[in-house]
């Protein structure tokens, strides 16, 4: 059984200009011990999909429809009698079963509290540990995430750590609750390349040691190639293609996925072929296109693409894509 199963999730943000349709009819699942990468440009809906799942949407965000099943429970907001009950439930889940690692550790860490307090308090809140036991566990977690001299460093403040070490502390805090699911939102974007590789390796090691599932939100296909078993490609609030890492890297079907792959350097390709950025800009989600969200940027667009949302083509249990090019009845390019 999947650890997390999301069915037909749609989330909007209420604004004075109308509803911003940030997440549109998204369905996917992730199993224990699996790493799922969610890839897309800014505004593709990847982060809002995850904030919807964690109950962390901004105050004007509303889950309009869909189901979220996590660890055998239905945690969709519609399943609760009141907003308060839903929020209380999500507080418990976020404290005990789901953890999030954010892009910038400094927005997560409290600058005026020693690391000791920031690790020990959640341990005492989420378990029955005494302060002494929690301190021991905190030191153990610091060792686990590769922080040298933890006995000395636990007494320091966040500003006394480098960017990479701060992200390790955030990961240690995320592990205080033994999460079943870790959601990492661009966790390496703010770090330099060498430290990025170390943090990704750490996340992978922890996943193998704890069997937690990891959802990695990223705009970087290089991160996906290093870490992920499954990949979701989002565009204009829609899930346009999903598959294993092999499906996405070696057999991409959606023109947007192919465009993203053309934007990254292939170390095995020694030709001088220049990288090709995808021309154009993403759709306005206040007034999204009636048909395929990629229509204005797609070199293969047909008339049908403008007016009708592509149906899903299933290539295998994992590999699915929403593009009219794959539909057997669709007209061909130029029709
Ligand atoms: Fe391009 Fe049409 Fe496929 Fe959309 S459905 S990606 S516009 S070919």
184 lines ligand 1 (CB under 6 A): no
Residue 331 CA to ligand 1 center (angstroms) comes to 11
> In the predicted model, is pLDDT for residue 133 greater than 90?
yes
Pick from 298, 299, 307, 334 the residue to mutate for probing ligand 1's pocket: most ligand atoms within 8 Å of its CB.
Answer: 298
Q: Is the pLDDT of residue 25 over 90?
A: yes
Q: Which two tokens stand for residue 39?
A: 């890839």
Q: By three-state DSSP, how is residue 7 classified? A: strand
Cα–ligand 1 centroid distance for 223 (angstroms): 26
Residue 167 alpha carbon to ligand 1 centre in Å: 39
pLDDT tens digits, one per residue of 240-286 = 999 999 999 999 999 999 999 988 766 566 666 655 678 888 999 99
* Ligand 1 centroid, distance to 301 Cα (angstroms): 5
* pTM over cut 0.85: yes
Cβ(66) – ligand 1 distance below 6 Å: no
Q: Among 33-37, 129-133, 265-269, 274-278, whose mean pLDDT is lowest?
A: 265-269
C-beta 323 within 6 A of ligand 1 = yes
Cβ neighbourhood burial of 96 (10 Å; 0-12, 13-18, 19+): middle
Give 67's pLDDT tier (boundaries 50, 70, 90): very high
* Residue 292 near ligand 1, beta carbon < 6 Å: yes
- Would you place residue 45 in the very low, low, confident or very high pLDDT band (cuts 50, 70, 90)? very high
Helix (H) or strand (E) holding 25: strand 18-30
Q: How far is the CA of 259 from the centre of ligand 1 (A)?
A: 12
d(CA 271, CA 166) in angstroms, rounded, equals 39
In tens, the pLDDT along 168-226 reads: 899 889 888 889 999 998 888 777 777 778 888 888 888 888 899 999 998 888 888 88
Please indicate whether residue 240, judged by its CB atom, sits closer than 6 Å to ligand 1: no
SS3 content of the chain, % helix, strand, coil (to 5): 40, 25, 40
């Amino acid at each position: 059984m999947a650890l997390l199963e999301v069915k037909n999730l749609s989330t909007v943000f209420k604004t004075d200009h109308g509803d911003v349709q940030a997440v549109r009819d998204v369905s996917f699942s992730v199993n224990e011990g699996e790493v799922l990468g969610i890839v897309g440009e800014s505004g593709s809906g990847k982060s809002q999909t995850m904030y919807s799942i964690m109950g962390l949407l901004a105050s004007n965000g509303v889950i309009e429809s869909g189901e979220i099943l996590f660890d055998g429970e239905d945690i969709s907001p519609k399943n609760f009698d009141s907003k308060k009950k839903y929020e209380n439930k999500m507080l418990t889940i976020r404290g005990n079963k789901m953890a999030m690692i954010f892009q910038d550790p400094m927005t997560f860490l409290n600058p005026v509290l020693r690391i000791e307090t920031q690790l020990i308090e959640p341990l005492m809140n989420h378990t029955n540990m005494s302060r002494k036991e929690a301190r021991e566990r905190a030191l153990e977690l610091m060792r686990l995430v590769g922080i040298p001299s933890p006995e000395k460093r636990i007494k320091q403040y966040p500003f006394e750590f480098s960017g990479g070490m701060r992200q390790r502390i955030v990961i240690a805090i995320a592990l205080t609750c033994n999460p079943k699911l870790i959601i990492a939102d661009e966790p390496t974007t703010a770090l330099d390349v060498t430290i990025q590789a170390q943090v990704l390796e750490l996340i992978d090691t922890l996943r193998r040691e704890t069997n937690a599932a990891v959802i990695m939100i990223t705009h970087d296909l290089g991160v996906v190639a290093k870490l992920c078993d499954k990949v979701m490609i989002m565009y204009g609030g829609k899930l346009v293609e999903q598959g294993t890492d092999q499906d996405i890297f070696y057999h991409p079907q959606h023109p947007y996925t192919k465009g993203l792959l053309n934007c990254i350097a292939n170390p095995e390709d020694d030709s001088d072929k220049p990288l090709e950025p995808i021309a154009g800009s993403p759709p306005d989600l206040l007034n999204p296109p009636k048909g395929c969200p990629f229509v204005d940027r797609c070199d293969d667009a047909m008339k049908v693409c403008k007016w009708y949302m592509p149906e899903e083509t299933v290539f295998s249990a994992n590999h699915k894509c929403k593009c009219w090019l794959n539909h057997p009845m669709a007209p061909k390019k130029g029709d």
